[in-house]
Amino acid sequence: MALLISGCNIYNGEEVNTQTGAKELILKDKFADDFKIGTAISKAQVLNASDPELLLAAKHFNTFTPENAMKWESINPLPNEYQFEVADALVNFAAANKQQLVGHTLVWHSQTPDWVFEDDSGNLLNRDQLLQRMQHHIKTVAGRYADQIFAWDVVNEALNEDGTLRESKWQQIIGDDFIEHAFMFAHQAAPKAKLYYNDYNMFKPAKRAGAIALIKRLKQKGIQIDGVGMQAHYSLASPDFAEVEDSIVALAATGVDVMITELDISVLPFPENLAEGADVSLDVALQQQYNPYATGLPNAVEQQLASRYQALFSIYKKHSNSIGRVTFWGVSDKQTWRNGWPMQGRTDYPLLIDRNMQIKGFVDSL
């Protein structure tokens, strides 16, 4: 399959500029000796074959993660109703462009409809009923793509900041072993797929310890877990990248692969009364002091962003034997979720590709 992108022919992974003949920086090629480079793809992108960001994704990335298309509320919004159009389109696009597709996500406390946990009268299900519902969903979704999806984020964000299990409805109704069952059901549905646990703020020592305990518990019980995803929603001020490195080393020591997932580095100030991370439930009114770069990013701030990315990628490359994939949460600054979280209407610059869909100048030095 050949794609024409901004005067470049891409064919079988080879890229040639048809206008100048010059080599262009291609992200997946730049880090080919280190790790896979991925991005998140949205519904709007994958359903529009001419979307410039979708074509750019095919050019620069060799793994895809669906932004929302495979979350429970999107793919199974009502009992016995499955909507596979977007997921099918993404699977087909990834296959046509020889990219690995990571399914995201099978079990999560957020973006899961209330009916999942309730009977027809609105009463909470019991343990056996909810386990049965979980198994049916995983069998239906993961089973449909058993030969096409390389790996699954089986469980997403099940830990509190102190490393204990989040008191979600999954945990409250089924118990602490809901994670074990999710991984077992995923293995039954897609026996060839890699199975991952994914969470944010994994650089924090307490949360890191909780993840390590979770991995060890699954392994001790003979339950398949192949990797852990460290979400990387960072800022210019935090976290301390020494803690990020400590977590990479500690997680890899458990014998699983480490993936860097959902990477972006916000340049915007964050309200002091809100906890940084990736809690999608945060939604506060726009305040202009938290949107200082609406008309453009000052060079001095872009240099700060460059320094942060350079420091981070030096760590990633140092530990490339442990890191299988680095996935950005979005293709370009134009459509990053950071523009709308935790305030709608902000203008952020957190990715390596700018609003004009050009690679930023500092990327070559990463």
Catalytic residues: 157, 262
Range of the domain at 234: 26-365
Q: 162 in a domain, yes or no? A: yes
Q: 296 in a domain, yes or no? A: yes
Give residue 23's pLDDT: 76
Q: 192 in a domain, yes or no? A: yes
Q: Whose structure tokens read 């398949």?
A: 224
Q: 258 in a domain, yes or no? A: yes
Q: 90 in a domain, yes or no? A: yes
Give residue 289's pLDDT: 84
**187, 195 Cβ separation under 8 angstroms:** yes
Domain containing residue 312: CATH number? 3.20.20.80
Give residue 20's pLDDT: 46
Query: Which spans in 61-126 are helix H?
Result: 72-75, 85-96
Q: 16 in a domain, yes or no? A: no
Phi/psi region, residue 157 (left: phi>0; alpha: psi -120 to 50; beta: rest), is left
Q: 97 in a domain, yes or no? A: yes
User: What is the token pair recorded at 33?
Assistant: 């000796």
Give residue 229's pLDDT: 98
The CA distance from 289 to 68, in Å, is: 30
Number of structural domains, the chain? 1
**267, 234 Cβ separation under 8 angstroms:** no
User: What is the token pair recorded at 314?
Assistant: 């030096």
The CA distance from 12 to 230, in Å, is: 31
Give residue 8's pLDDT: 47
**116, 79 Cβ separation under 8 angstroms:** no
pLDDT tens digit string along 347-366?
Answer: 999 999 999 999 999 999 99
One-letter amino acid at 234 equals: Y
The stretches in the chain having pLDDT less than 70 are 1-22, 273-284
Q: 40 in a domain, yes or no? A: yes
